[in-house]
Structure formats: C-alpha cells, structure tokens
Amino acid sequence: MKVVSTNITVRYAETDQMGVVHHSNYIVWFEVGRTDFIKELGFHYAEMEKSGILSPVIDVHCSYKKPTTYGEVVTINTWVEDYDGLRVTYGYEVKNQKNEVCVTGYSIHVCVKQDSFRPISIRKHLPDWHEAYEKLKHK
Amino acid sequence: MKVVSTNITVRYAETDQMGVVHHSNYIVWFEVGRTDFIKELGFHYAEMEKSGILSPVIDVHCSYKKPTTYGEVVTINTWVEDYDGLRVTYGYEVKNQKNEVCVTGYSIHVCVKQDSFRPISIRKHLPDWHEAYEKLKHK
Amino acid sequence: MKVVSTNITVRYAETDQMGVVHHSNYIVWFEVGRTDFIKELGFHYAEMEKSGILSPVIDVHCSYKKPTTYGEVVTINTWVEDYDGLRVTYGYEVKNQKNEVCVTGYSIHVCVKQDSFRPISIRKHLPDWHEAYEKLKHK
Amino acid sequence: MKVVSTNITVRYAETDQMGVVHHSNYIVWFEVGRTDFIKELGFHYAEMEKSGILSPVIDVHCSYKKPTTYGEVVTINTWVEDYDGLRVTYGYEVKNQKNEVCVTGYSIHVCVKQDSFRPISIRKHLPDWHEAYEKLKHK
C-alpha cells in the first residue's frame, strides 16, 4: 500500500484554551496530507482546478485518541482506502514523535464541475487519475 | 426531542478558493451550536472548565450535501443523540435559508480532568449534567 | 460619523492555549464588521465580486489592550476613517460587555479586477460606492 | 543582523474565495516565523509558558504587496527590530519562490504573568532572554 508521510510542526494558533490542538485542525492537516499524496502520485490538485474541475469533500470522519501540542512535530500518513470510479476515500493517521497514533480518520471525495457543482465520473473525465487510483487499489 | 437552533452569518474568512465554505468550518459551527445547546440546558461550559473538568471530542463525523456561501445566514440545529453516563453524542444539522439541509454530523464527547486528561464518569462527577442528559434521552 | 455595531459571541475555536482569543481572530472580526458596515450602506460585497471586482486589504493594523475570552459577547464598531477615490480606510474598535475597549485597528482597501488583480479607481468604476464614501467623509 | 528563514507550503484551507491566501493567515505565519526565531536563539517559548510567563502581542501591522496562492512554498524571514527591556519588536517579510516580497509586517510583544496578565520586565525576570535580545540589537 502506498502511504505518503507529511511532517507538520504544530502552530500556536492551532491550540485552544484546553492547551492542546483544537480538533478542527486535524481536518486541515488531513488536507495537507492529501495534497502531498496527490503530488507524490504525479498530479497537482491546483492544475485540476484550473481545468474547471473541483474535488469537494462529501464525508469526513475523525477519531481522537491523544492530544497533540504546540511545538510538537507530527506526522500525517495518507493513503487511498477505497475508489470506485466516482468516489475516492483517503485514510489518515496522525502520529506524534513517540510514534503514538493520536488521530485517525478518512475523507470521501467526488469530482464536480466548477460552474455547476455537478458530480462527474473520474473514470470518464480524468482517465489519468482513474488509472492511478485503480493501480493503488490493487496494490 | 430538545433541539436548539443557532444562526450564523457566513464569514468571508470561512470561504476557500472553491468559492464556498471550507469544510473544516462546520466542525467549528457544530461547537458553536453545542455551546448554545448547553447554555439552553442551564449550564455553562466555561464554568465547568474553571472547576478543572474539560470535555474533549473523541469522535466527529460530517456529511456534506450542499455548499454554503459568504453572506448566507445558516442555522445550526443541535440535539443530544445518545448518552450513557460517560459519553455524550450530539447530533447536528446545518440548514440554509431555503431550509435545505447542507451538512449533517455528530460529535462524541467525554469528560476528563484538566491536569491528567484522564476520563471521568459524568454520572459520578457531574450529577446535575447527568440528570439533565438522562432527561433528554427519555424525551 | 456613521458607526455600525456588530455583536460576536466568542467561539471556543478562537481561543488559544493562553486561555484568551488568538490575536489573528480580530482581523477576521474586523472583516465581519466591515461586511455589516457595507450592508448598512446599502451595498453587498458579494455582488461586487460577482461583477468581477475584488477589494483586497493592502494594510492592516491592530492594537491589543485587553484580552477577550470564550463565551463573551463582544461588539465590533466599524466606521470609515479615510477615503480618496482609490483607497478606503476602515477604523475598528472591539469592546467587551463592560464597555472596555479591548482592541483597536484599521484596514486599508483598494479595488482590483478579479482576473488581473490590477487596481482600479473606485471613483470611476464604482460611482455609487464613491458617492456613498464621499458623503461619509463629510459627515 | 540575525534573520531566521522558515518555509511554509500554502494550505488549501488558507485560501479564500478571492483565490488567494486570506490576509489573516499572515499573522499566523508571522507567529510560525517567531517560534523558529526563538528556537534558533536557543530558547523555547513553550517552556517559558510552563514557567508561568506568557508573551502576548500588543501590536501587529501587516502590509500586503502581492497575493500568495495554494501550493506555493513561501519563506518567512524573521528578525528583531527593536528591544527596550520591556518590549520586543519582531520584523517579518514573506517572500514567494520568485524572491518577490509579498507581505511585510511587525509585531510588538511584552511578557506577562499567566495568572494576572500583568506586564513584567524582561530585563529583570528573564535575564537570559534579555542578554540575547541585547546582543541582537547591537549586531
């Protein structure tokens, strides 16, 4: 399975008055991991958008096991969990420097036309991406 | 079932380059809804924290059905979906001004001691909250 | 002088581990105040963007006098401090419920074409806005 | 003059519907630069907080010259602009990969006791930091 790792140094602004990272930030970190994963596949999300196709999230889930704190360097591991030609499910894991799993989660994405937000088939409209995701599934 | 409604005017800073609200903001809006729900129950989350008890999220889920946009007034509906003496599950629904459901989700919370982040029983340590949540369950 | 007041209930996610609102959020609140100010003038920023004109910030300043905290209701007062046909300077003041000034600031804005980010004259391209801002100056 | 450089890859969540980075994020990036600067000096801000001393911002200024966009790698340059035993002024500059200055700014900080938010003298209470900042001034 292809897993891409991204390091993030926790920002002060990402903490809340509990003294730990606010839970909404992990959703942002997942996105940072996803960006890196896509780049490692040889694609660029920004270029896809320029061609008039967006890839919004339709579902996100996050399980919090251990807090992370300001100054820590955390690792986001990202992989493809599922793909059916229309929807991609990415899996994520956030680990701290002791290699403890702090947060796990997934997000499901479709592709839509920028002007209408109407879903399109990745298989048909983005054949290169389709091929890459199919290969990941069979690994 | 007790449902508390909170209106939020979408901020410009909450949008992203897709031209719609970035998906991580709904997690923040759920929290705004939860704060209002707790206030309506007659409690104050800030006071609970002052007594040395925090209530972190252990699980969050979000389903995105329709985007929301800058300037719109959206309504967050919040209710208690489940409670077992240890964990509270809040349910959420974000509606736009056409009364369309844009986002649904839930979050699960425990209570922990501020100094140790060790979970405590709500039933034992917060009897007033316990009673209120038990009543909500049986409505 | 026309001053528009906007109430904001401080969100948990807006705090940081200092236990108070993170300083970057005031910049977002200024924007919320500005949106309301513009609406009170009879304009809609979102519609201006649809016509292909954006109004980016070119300068922002913020002075922090007193912290604000989760759950507080703060008031953002917004006014026009200066206008010269090209640039608008908005002034801001954030007050807490004891009527203490917590933060003051200003932001300077120009108008640009969406496609090129090239500055345009408000006087020439947005005559209605120009007239409204001229009137504000002479109050 | 000691200048510390920090690279940041622009996050999708940091953009807004203008298609560029929302202006409030530069304040967060300044803070990331400041954290690195302090670490390079041999100090750790997190440890200072554990000893009961906070260093809130009392003034921040930001000038926006060029927008930055999703996926770009930007460099934050941070230095000490002024220091008087009580207040530290940090200077910042954000450059893009073409080495163009996109944003400049500064922030002024004091030190306060965590419990009272009362300002304290850096000279008296943090002699190691005082010495380091004095040296920076005379470079």
A65-115 pLDDT tens trace? 999 999 999 999 999 999 999 999 999 999 999 999 999 999 999 999 998
Residue D92's Cα: distance from chain center in Å?
A: 7
Which residues make Cβ contacts (< 8 Å) with residue B20, sequence separation at least 6?
A56, B67, B68, B69, D17
Is the minimum CB–CB distance between D54 and chain C shorter than 8 Å? yes
Which of C23, C53, C111, C116 best probes binding to D when mutated, by most D CB atoms within 10 angstroms? C23
**pLDDT tens track for A40-71:** 999 989 889 999 999 999 999 999 999 999 99
User: Mapped to the 3 state alphabet, what secondary structure does chain A carry?
Assistant: CCCEEEEEECCHHHECCCCCECCCHHHHHHHHHHHHHHHHHCCCHHHHHHCCEECCEEEEEEEECCCCCCCCEEEEEEEEEEECCCCEEEEEEEECCCCCEEEEEEEEECEEECCCCCEECHHHHCHHHHHHHHHHHCC
Give the pLDDT score at C128.
Answer: 94
CB contact under 8 A, A13 and D35: no
When pLDDT is averaged across residues D3-21 and rounded to a whole number, the result is 97
Mean pLDDT of chain D: 95
- What's the number of domains chain D is made of? 1
Nearest to A90 by CA among A72, A110, A108: A108
Chain C residues 11-40 with a CB less than 8 Å from chain A: 12-13, 15-20, 22, 24
**pLDDT tens track for B78-94:** 999 999 999 999 999 99
Give the pLDDT score at D139.
Answer: 63
Cβ contacts (< 8 Å) between B31 and chain C: which residues?
A: 11-13
Cβ contacts (< 8 Å) between B69 and chain C: which residues?
A: 46
Is the minimum CB–CB distance between C115 and chain A shorter than 8 Å? no
Enter the ipTM: 0.95
Q: Please state, in angstroms and rounded to a whole number, the distance separating the CA atoms of residues B8 and C91.
A: 24
Q: Please state, in angstroms and rounded to a whole number, the distance separating the CA atoms of residues B31 and B2.
A: 17
**pLDDT tens track for C49-94:** 999 999 999 999 999 999 999 999 999 999 999 999 999 999 999 9
How would you label D12-51 residue by residue, b for 16+ Cβ within 10 Å and e otherwise? bbbbbbbbbbbbbbbbbbbbbbbbbbbeebeeebbebbee
Q: Which residues of C are catalytic?
A: 16
> Residue B102's domain spans which residues?
4-137
Q: In which band, very low, low, confident or very high, does the pLDDT at A139 lie, cut at 50, 70 and 90?
A: low
Please give the residue of chain B at the shortest CA–CA distance from A49.
Answer: B18
Catalytic annotation on D59?
no
Is the minimum CB–CB distance between A101 and chain D shorter than 8 Å? no
State the CATH number of the domain containing residue D56. 3.10.129.10
Q: Please state, in angstroms and rounded to a whole number, the distance separating the CA atoms of residues D31 and D69.
A: 19
- Which one of A56, A58, A64 has the shortest CB-CB distance to B58? A64
User: Does the pLDDT of residue D74 top 70, yes or no?
Assistant: yes
User: Does the pLDDT of residue B20 top 90, yes or no?
Assistant: yes
Give the pLDDT score at B137.
Answer: 79
Cβ contacts (< 8 Å) between B43 and chain C: which residues?
A: none
Q: In which band, very low, low, confident or very high, does the pLDDT at C137 lie, cut at 50, 70 and 90?
A: confident
What would you report as the CA-atom Rg of chain B, rounded to the nearest whole angstrom?
16
Give the pLDDT score at C91.
Answer: 98
Say if CB C107 and CB C92 are below 8 A apart: yes
Q: In which band, very low, low, confident or very high, does the pLDDT at C112 lie, cut at 50, 70 and 90?
A: very high
Give the pLDDT score at B18.
Answer: 95
Give the pLDDT score at C138.
Answer: 67
How would you label C50-67 residue by residue, b for 16+ Cβ within 10 Å and e otherwise? eeebbbbbbbbbbbbeeb
- Which one of A27, A54, A117 has the shortest CB-CB distance to B23? A27
CB contact under 8 A, A27 and B28: no
